[in-house]
Amino acid sequence: MLDIWIGDCLLFIAIPAHMIFAIQRIRPRLLPVEEIQLEDLENLQAEYQKRYPARFLLLRIAPALFAIYFAVRIVLWPPIVKADGPSLPSLLITGFGVYVGSMIVTIVLRIRQERDFVATHPAFKDSLLPVRPRIVAILPLILSFGAIVSATGVDDNVTRVTVLILGIVGLVISLKLRYRQITHSRYELSWDEPLGNRIAEVVERFGLKPKKLVLIPSLVTNAGALPDGTVFVTSALRTLATPAEVAAVVAHELSHVRDGEGKKWVRLRLISTAPIGGLAGFGAAICQGLPFETFVPPLVGFGVITFAMLPAWWVGSRTRPAEFKCDADAAKLGLGMELASCLNKITRFMGLPPQWIGIDRYLLTHPSLEERTARLIKAARELNPE
């Protein structure tokens, strides 16, 4: 069954490909000069449009076609579908090994990437996230996937279902732990320092104080609202942006805190991703020993990659309007231009395009830079026509 072997090989290629695209998408970048000099938005958009077709084909179209193909093979030709290759457990174990290996390699590449960047741009030396919490954060995830995969090798049905349930529960817990990874090395930002003073003014005008204001070492220029009401700012953002720009971003995050959206987004992601993982695990376990079990790994694998677009679309359709709402709240405080400037710097530093194209418009959690800045500039001019 050559097509099964081809499907397995392509699936094992698709797993690391997803991770490689992921780390390239959040790669810190500056022009090769000593001072902080950002690349032009036009160059970033051109680069994005150049690589988009290959990424779309590899990560969207190809998985869908393969999932449809293997599903049709099983449905239309069940009498001739025979187990003629590695067993389902051995294939899943191999896939699990590829997944774990890819995760470790991407973490190592990311760490090297960050260290090389900091060596070239010492202004960001306080932005290196320690290695230990990164490794600790992925261990529960690996163990949970391992439990789901190992369930396919258990003969007793009750034990198999029990191990599957434990693996799925562990997967949910591990996703929460990964979300909390960013809080491991945080420390509270002093309200007495210049940045703290500027943020304190915004907090007072907004009328809502976060539970805590924390600084997190990270080379991802970002800020966010945690489920417990804490607002975090990354050290890279503090280095890149002015205190007024950071304060504008904090005003945006305070809007998230006021509306309880930190907890809401965590629940949305769990609700959207847990069913896919659970169904894939149960499907693989139920199909074990059936004549078509060698078709299950590529079908489940490509099916998960394909149908993962549905929860991404569902989550994005709710988060993008919320981002516009939070931008508007910051603009009402007279910080629209500062927020637009900061978003521009974040986009250029992370090498992101100013405008999404294709299916990215519907699958990403945040609107494009052009959409957000256009609204912010309009709001700022309405507030101050001069």
pLDDT recorded at residue 237: 94
CA distance 157 to 160: 5
Taking alpha carbons only, the member of 286, 297, 242 closest to residue 88 is 297
Q: How far apart are CA 208 and CA 210, in angstroms?
A: 7
Quick one: angle between helices 296-307 and 88-120, nearest 10?
Answer: 40
Distance between CA atoms of residues 102 and 13, nearest Å: 10
For residue 186, the tally of other CB atoms under 10 A from its CB is 18
Mean pLDDT of the region 343-350: 94
Which stretch of 11-20, 97-106, 126-135, 146-155 has the lowest confidence by average pLDDT? 146-155
Instruction: Name which residue leads in pLDDT, 373 or 284.
Output: 373
In the chain, what are the domain boundaries? 2-183+264-313, 187-261+315-383
Residue 303 predicted with pLDDT over 80: yes
Q: What's the mean pLDDT in 166-181? A: 70
CA 4-5-6 angle, to 5 degrees, is 90
139-143, 223-227, 256-260, 265-269: range with lowest mean pLDDT: 139-143
Q: What pLDDT does 240 receive?
A: 92
**pLDDT tens across 149-160, in order?**
777 667 777 787
Question: Residue 180: its pLDDT value, please?
Answer: 63
How many CB atoms are located within 10 Å of the residue 65 CB?
13
Q: Look at residue 252 and tell me whether its pLDDT is greater than 80.
A: yes
Number of neighbouring beta carbons within 10 Å of residue 334: 16
**Tokens found for residue 92:** 């899943």
Predicted pLDDT of residue 327: 95
Residue 35 has pLDDT above 90, yes or no: no
Residue 185 pLDDT more than 60? no
Domain 187-261+315-383 has CATH 3.40.50.300: no
pLDDT number for residue 94:
77
pLDDT at 176: 67
State whether residue 4 is helix, strand or coil: helix
pLDDT value of residue 239: 92
Pairing of strands 223-225, 213-216: unpaired
Highest mean pLDDT among 126-135, 240-249, 376-385: 240-249
